[in-house]
Amino acid sequence: MPIGKAYLVGAGPGDPGLITVKGLECLRQSNVILHDRLVGEEIMRHAPKGTELIYCGKRPDHHAMTQDEINACLVEKALEGHTVCRLKGGDPIVFGRGAEEALELRKAGVPFEIVPGITSAVAAGVYAGIPVTLRGVASSFAVITGHEDPTKDEASVDWRHLATAVDTLVILMGVGGFASIAEELIAGGRDPQTPVAFVSWATHPRQRTVISTLERGTDDIEKHAIKPPAVITVGDVVQSHSELAWHENRPLSGRRVLVTRTREQASELSRLLSEKGAVAVELPVIRIVEPEDWGPFDQAVDCIDEFDWLVLTSGNGVRAVRDRLLERGLDVRALAGPRIAAIGAKTAEAIENLGIRVDVCPDRYVAEALADQLIGEGIQGKRLLVARAAEARDVLIHRGREAGAEVTVTPVYRTLPANAYEKSIIKELGEGKIDVVTFASSSTVRFFLEMLGEDRAKEALSRAKIACIGPITASTATDAGLRVDIQPEDYTIEGLVEAIVDEYRD
């Protein structure tokens, strides 16, 4: 069996957008991935289907795998012929043990590449509004580990010498030993009032920055319960935080928002919320499955030229139609003939991504608006094929038939309750640790209530604001006895996020 290859990849400090293009390419080429605890789930979603995922994260008090075990695993998997990605938070070399892993691979004759990543030593400051260098303030910086190898006989970091040797000191893994570090820096000549910044979970939505001084830092660690992972910056550049901070000043900074869409759909809403500073907590309460019988849709496609309109009412429906055509050895050419109607901009976008032009798309993304527009097009005596969810509302069907159209409905997917849910998230919701719960469809409301039981669900939701994507979903919620706090004018995911922002705008 031919030898495989290993990639030692820096995933960046936490924000999934900070992994490099090459790092992402290596991740997508690998069939074995060893990842640590600071690599976010969004990055791991890029792993190919069927990839073996091996967790080897380390905390100060617990290591899932020792470094020797990690080295051995890398070599073993590569010698078995696999393409292995060692995915590390930050940069693989900056206190990342990547060089040691590369040496072990070389000894075993395994080809490897090292792909640099953005180190938290720089990124933490950037996201907190603290540059490591600044004209007229700091022209040098040093990155130092605050957690040295405990097997060494004596410390190799000469803190007293470093105290005044450079302008800015960036200390990684130094929270636990900060008291002695600060004492040594002061003894080496640093002013006790030198500004210090502690940046926890740098570049993550839950990033938090505490500004202190060398003298006061130890007390502030305890006062503010600062825990690893945290980056410590020492120097006058810390004063720029008040003017340059941006990450924690975003409109939803620190807000926790529950996303109840399917796991596949949740990523878009979670991404938009994260861009606004929120922590998106995903709790899928629905899942999308195939219809019980594809026969009606297949028969309709086989005589598609007999229809005047093809109506698609959701992005899920578009994807289901595409997948079914491909499964039958067909493509979008099989839909040629009828004009195309979409219920909203996102559905229209999904259709147009298949290379099909949309003829009708209403400004209001509800079935009533689509019915009005189709009736305005003159559908009396016309044949409409509606490809939709099995459980969808019948407004479009009734309105179309009342207008004299012949309407054929073919289910192309079903919406079912999720198989399981994270009980810890429900616990957080009940404890008031979730600020907003989002519902992007009526089915998410119904299945959330069904999943927990109405009484328990209502009790949990009473401690959070409820945001519904549009009037139909809001009506489902209010009919169930829920209070709807947030509803956008634009019934889209983007509109929903903006409405949540408006709710918390100063």
| Catalytic center residues | 36, 58, 173
- Residue spans of alpha helices (H) in 282-314: 295-302
State the greatest distance between any 2 C-alpha atoms of the chain, in Å, as a whole number.
Answer: 91
3-state secondary structure of 86: strand
**With contact defined as beta carbons under 8 Å apart, do 127 and 199 qualify?**
yes
**Measuring CA to CA, how many Å separate 145 from each of 172, 175, 423?**
5, 11, 38
| Cβ neighbourhood burial of 25 (10 Å; 0-12, 13-18, 19+) | middle
Pairing, β 339-342 against β 383-389:
unpaired
- For residue 348, give Cα distances in angstroms to 54, 77, 411: 40, 45, 19
Does residue 454 come out as left (phi exceeding 0), alpha (psi in the -120 to 50 range) or beta? alpha
Question: Is the link from the previous residue into 229 a cis peptide, with omega within 30 of 0?
Answer: yes
Q: Is 121 exposed, middle or buried (0-12, 13-18, 19+ CB in 10 A)?
A: buried
What is the H or E stretch that residue 144 is in?
Answer: strand 141-145
Question: b/e per residue, 301-338, with b = 16+ CB within 10 A?
Answer: beeeeebbbbbbbbbbbbbbbbebbeeeeeeeeebeeb
Q: Write the DSSP string, 441-482.
A: SHHHHHHHHHHH-HHHHHHHHTTSEEEESSHHHHHHHHHTTP
Q: 345 phi and psi, to 5 degrees?
A: -60, -40
